[in-house]
Every structure is written in structure tokens, then in C-alpha cells.
């Protein structure tokens, strides 16, 4: 038996924009269905919001997202604090993307960093050829790194 685990992100009216952004960074195919597509009348607020959305790439990237019904405030950005000169991010989860080369992962970093809050700049790390951490403009915190040969 095998399983696949996919991150499912919750937004408040930003799911379409986020999915299209992630597709522009990672490539692949974006699929979006709205509440209206499943029968909600067009004149009801939220009928154009995403009830099911995903990006699936040939490179293995996959993420799902939807708009929480009845919520219209933007998704809050990540919370960070400073302790002993270090930036600490307090989130329940991060999305981690690991690639094989510095250039390959660096290109993803460049795309995700548009409008983002950089927590740790992308570059060499003691445990990996390259590592970086940021909270994107939708409030999702990402860790990007290059696989190290152990």
C-alpha cells in the first residue's frame, strides 16, 4: 500500500491568486473549481471563491488550496519574533521544497521571494549546499534547500 501526502492551504478569498502564483514559480497545471461551479448561485457572495484548487507539476510539486467559506479577511502573514539576535517564526507548519542543485532551487527561491518576508536568505548552510526560509505574500512559510550527500 502506498500513500501520497499533499499540503492543503486554507485562504480567505486569495486561493486563486495563490495557486496561480505557485504555478508561475513551480510550473505544472493549475486546476480550480469554484463554489459556483458546484451550484452556488452567482449572486451569492463567495460563489467565485475556490472550493477545490491544486497545482500539480511534472517535477513532483503538488499543493492544494481553497477559500474557507464565509471568510473574507486576508490570510494573516507569518508571525516572527527576535530572540537573542535570531528571527524565530512561530507557525504550525512550513512547506519544504528540496531540490538537487543550487541553481534549480535558487530559481524557485527567486520566484517565491517576490513580495515575501525573508527569514533566512538563500545561500550556503553548514548542513546543505544551499538553504533559505521565507514567508510568502500569502502568509505561507517555505523552507527551500538543496539535498546534501551524506
Domains and CATH numbers, the chain: 7-67 (3.30.720), 80-146 (3.30.720.110)
Integer Cα distance of 21 and 25 in angstroms:
6
pLDDT score at 100: 92
Mean pLDDT of 99-118: 95
pLDDT band at 58 (very low <50, low <70, confident <90, very high): very high
Residue range 5-57, pLDDT digits in tens: 789 999 989 999 999 999 999 999 999 999 899 888 888 888 899 999 999 99
For residue 94, the model assigns a pLDDT of 85
Global pTM value? 0.78
CB atoms within 10 A of CB 144: 23
Beta bridge partner(s), residue 80: 89
Residue 28, phi-psi category: left (phi > 0), alpha (psi -120 to 50), beta (remainder): left
Average pLDDT on 126-135 reads 92
Amino acid at each position: 500500500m502506498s500513500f501520497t501526502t499533499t499540503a492543503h492551504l486554507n485562504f480567505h478569498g486569495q486561493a486563486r491568486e495563490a495557486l496561480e502564483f505557485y504555478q508561475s514559480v513551480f510550473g505544472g497545471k493549475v486546476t480550480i473549481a469554484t463554489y459556483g461551479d458546484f451550484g452556488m448561485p452567482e449572486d451569492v457572495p463567495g460563489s467565485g471563491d475556490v472550493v477545490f484548487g491544486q497545482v500539480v507539476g511534472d517535477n513532483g510539486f503538488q499543493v492544494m488550496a481553497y477559500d474557507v467559506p464565509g471568510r473574507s479577511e486576508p490570510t494573516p502573514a507569518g508571525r516572527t519574533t527576535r530572540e537573542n539576535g535570531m528571527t524565530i517564526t512561530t507557525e504550525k507548519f512550513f512547506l519544504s521544497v528540496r531540490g538537487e542543485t543550487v541553481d534549480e532551487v535558487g530559481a524557485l527561491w527567486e520566484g517565491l521571494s517576490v513580495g515575501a518576508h525573508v527569514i533566512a536568505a538563500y545561500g550556503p548552510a553548514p548542513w546543505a549546499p544551499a538553504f533559505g526560509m521565507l514567508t510568502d505574500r500569502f502568509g505561507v512559510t517555505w523552507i527551500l534547500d538543496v539535498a546534501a550527500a551524506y
